[in-house]
Every structure is written in structure tokens, then in C-alpha cells.
Amino acid sequence: MSRIEEPGFIDVHYHANPDAFIRRHGAIEAGRRYAAVQGRVVLKNHLGCTAAQAWEARNQGFPVSGSVVLNEIAGGIDYRVVERSLCLRGDEPGRFIVHLPTVTGRTHTSTLARNLSHPLLREKPIKPARVTAQNGRLTPQTLDILKMARDYPLV
């Protein structure tokens, strides 16, 4: 793997294919485009972890990092999902981004025109996940994830 230079900027929220919605580029092409402008990109995916995609791109010399989204379809708010993601990450330096669920059951509806990437997502939409209990306090599972940041390179 070639050495990836220090970036001039980092985009910490880039959705690449495959994802829940059809995206313009995959991880390799995104990495190629960010390298061309001296940037770095962190992949994000509503379906879960992008660490393996990022690893593949980095092995081709592109400035790509992964992250994990703790949506229900990816295993939900579970410390084991984060541990698995860290294993897939390889030896990448720096912190690993853990996103709390993006599908939460709130009443907000996106106005973006997007096409689902797979018919299964129409038949079985991603179920909402909650980070708080009915009393408004963080769930024990959410607290487990936050506590992991003490012992692992997470943000």
C-alpha cells in the first residue's frame, strides 16, 4: 500500500455505493476523486459498516476511512457491532467514527429525491432504533457504546 499524504481537508460524511439508496460513486472512485483534490473521505452507510470498503480503497492508495452506523439493519445499538467494525478496519491510524442510528422513527421526512438500492428495502424498510428510553434517559445499550470510547479509538 502506498503512503497516503496528510489531507488538506476531510469529508466525514460521504455515502458511497452500495448503500440503502443509489449513490453516485463507490468507495474506490470516491477515494480517487478525493485524492485528486488532496482530501480524505470517511464513508457512511445506512446499512452499517464501511470499514472493509475503506480498507480496500486504502490498499489501492486512496485516502478513504470507514465508519459504522448503528441502524437496526446493521445489528442496532450493540457494542458487538462496534467491535466487529473495529476488526474490519485493519491497522488504520486515527479514530473510527461510530454514528448513532440514522433511522430513529422521528416524524421528519426527507425531501431529497432518492431511489432505494434494493427491492428488499421497499418490502422491509429499516426499522427505527432509539438511543433513549421513554423517560428520556440514554438506553443501557447506548451507554455501552459511549463507554467504549474510553478503551477504543472511537469518536
Q: How long a stretch of residues is the chain?
A: 155
The pLDDT tens digits for 108-136 are: 455 566 676 566 666 677 778 889 999 99
CA 17 from centre of chain: 12
Query: Domain coordinates of the chain in residue numbers?
Result: 9-148
Give the DSSP H or E segment for 123. Answer: helix 119-123
pTM for the predicted model, two decimal places: 0.84
The pLDDT tens digits for 75-118 are: 999 999 999 999 999 888 889 999 999 876 655 455 566 676 56
Query: Under a CB-based contact definition with an 8 Å cutoff, are residues 79 and 103 in contact?
Result: no
The pLDDT tens digits for 36-72 are: 999 999 999 988 899 999 999 999 999 999 999 999 9
